[in-house]
Amino acid sequence: MTSRWKAYLLGALLFFCAASWSRTGAQERPEDVSEPAQADTLALSDQVIAYARSFLGTPYKLGAAGPSRFDCSSYTSYVFRHFGYDITAYSAVQFREGRAVESYRDLQKGDLVFFGKRGSVRNIGHVGIVVSIDKESGGFTFIHASVSGGVVEQSFNHPYFMMRYMGARRILPDE
C-alpha cells in the first residue's frame, strides 16, 4: 500500500470519526466508533475531499501534472480522475465542463470554483475544489494548488478571492 493511499485512508477515517463525534456530542463516546470507517461509506464528495486533502502541502509548479507537484488545474484534474471523472487539466476549459452552479449560495462540497487572473478578472486563471459551505453567510472554504503555498485549504472570504470569483461548475452528481 503506497503512502499516498495510506494518507487518503487515514484522512477519510479521521473525517468520519470527527463527523460521528460532532453528531453525538462530547459527553459520550459513540457506540459505532469501535469499527473502523470504510472509505466507501462516505458520500462521493467526502471521498473526493479526503483524497484532495491527502495532497496538502504538495508544492506548486506551473505545468506539473502531479502527484509530487501540481498547478491548480492539474491538481483538480488529478483528483477527479482518481474517481473516474476525466476533466481537462486547464482551468479555462474546466470552466465549461460539468454543470453550471448558478450562485455560490448553491454550491455543494466537491464543486469546482473559478477565479479570474491576477491582471484580468475577466479571464479564468485559477480553480479549486469546495470543501465546506456556510449557507448562512454564503461563504465557503476550498482546497487548491496555490503558487505561494502549494496545495492548501483557504476561505473564500479572503478579499483576493472574493474580488476574483467567476463561478462554479458541478462535476459530481447532485447531493
Q: Give catalytic residue positions.
A: 72, 126, 144
Beta strand pairing status for 112-116 and 124-134? Answer: antiparallel
What is each CA distance from 38 to 25, 116, 151, in whole angstroms? 22, 38, 25
| H/E segment holding residue 165 | strand 165-170
174 touches 78 (CB < 8 A): no
* Grid cell 464543486 in the structure block, residue: 111
In degrees, to the nearest 5, what angle opens at C-alpha 108 toward C-alphas 150 and 105? 105
Q: How far apart, in whole angstroms, are the C-alpha atoms of residue 133 and residue 107? A: 7
